């Protein structure tokens, strides 16, 4: 790999799951430009290699199925073997589902919880003890604006899973705040992002679901690079929660303040 051109900055070792495409790949490229050491994880080994080839920096790729705890433990171990320590862990892997609430099956719910909640929980449980030993570190869980406002009802189970992830993340942050003030726990909530996420979402026979009109009108559509910039800034200046779209906080506040703004009562 070509070494990064950035000189004199605080180089960190950063693990990114779901790094073979979309937000994960864009974040890897963005952080690579800052000269960080990267550990990229995803199931698609060839796609991971392609992402790594375009990054200027020290990159380790680890084929990983984040729905398997043993795989996530191996990801941590490979990162520690290569770089000695991990500074930032980004739980980004996830998958969508396009099924109305009344048509959801047990298997649908199980899949959404496994891919969007348990996978991140495994990441939290394997890396936070390492952070505790070092008394510092940064855990970033990539959630969704849909965890806060139901602007896309067809994504109901996905939204519910991301809401559960938000709650787990907040509770972990509270657990660590007093004994480990230098361990940061952050939630990132993208809005509508132009990636292949919709195409890869389950349901509708694999046919992409167009962006909901309400969501598009409320926030507009971002690129994966836009989200990557927010994550890079978050690593430099940790915060508890961040929306990637500037209009998202206001949209969420309006929904909580008045359901009439979004739902017929």
Catalytic hit among 122, 158, 180, 243: 158
**Cα(150)–Cα(195) distance, rounded to whole angstroms?**
20
Interacting residues of 126 by C-beta distance below 8 A, sequence separation 6+: 69, 72, 73, 75, 76
Give catalytic status of residue 243 as yes or no: no
Catalytic residue IDs: 158
């Amino acid at each position: 790999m070509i070494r990064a051109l950035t000189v004199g900055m605080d180089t960190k070792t950063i693990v990114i799951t779901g790094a073979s495409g979309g937000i994960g790949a864009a974040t890897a490229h963005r952080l690579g430009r800052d000269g960080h050491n990267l550990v990229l994880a995803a199931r698609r080994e060839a796609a991971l290699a392609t992402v790594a080839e375009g990054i200027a920096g020290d990159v380790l790729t680890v084929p990983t199925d984040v729905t398997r705890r043993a795989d996530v433990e191996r990801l941590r171990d490979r990162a520690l073997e290569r770089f000695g320590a991990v500074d930032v862990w980004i739980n980004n892997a996830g998958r969508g589902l396009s099924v109305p609430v009344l048509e959801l099956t047990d298997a649908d719910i199980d899949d959404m919880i496994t891919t969007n909640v348990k996978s991140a929980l495994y990441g939290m449980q394997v890396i936070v003890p390492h952070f505790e030993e070092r008394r510092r570190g940064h855990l970033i869980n990539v959630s969704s604006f849909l965890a806060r406002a139901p602007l896309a009802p067809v994504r109901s189970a996905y939204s519910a899973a991301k809401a559960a992830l938000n709650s787990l993340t907040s509770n972990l942050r509270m657990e660590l705040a007093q004994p480990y003030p230098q361990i940061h726990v952050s939630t990132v909530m993208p809005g509508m992002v132009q990636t292949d996420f919709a195409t890869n979402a389950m349901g509708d026979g694999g046919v992409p679901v167009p962006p909901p009109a309400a969501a598009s009108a409320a926030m507009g559509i971002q690129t994966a690079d836009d989200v990557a910039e927010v994550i890079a800034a978050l690593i430099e200046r940790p915060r508890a929660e961040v929306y990637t779209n500037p209009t998202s906080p206001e949209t969420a506040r309006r929904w909580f303040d008045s359901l009439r703004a979004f739902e017929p009562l």
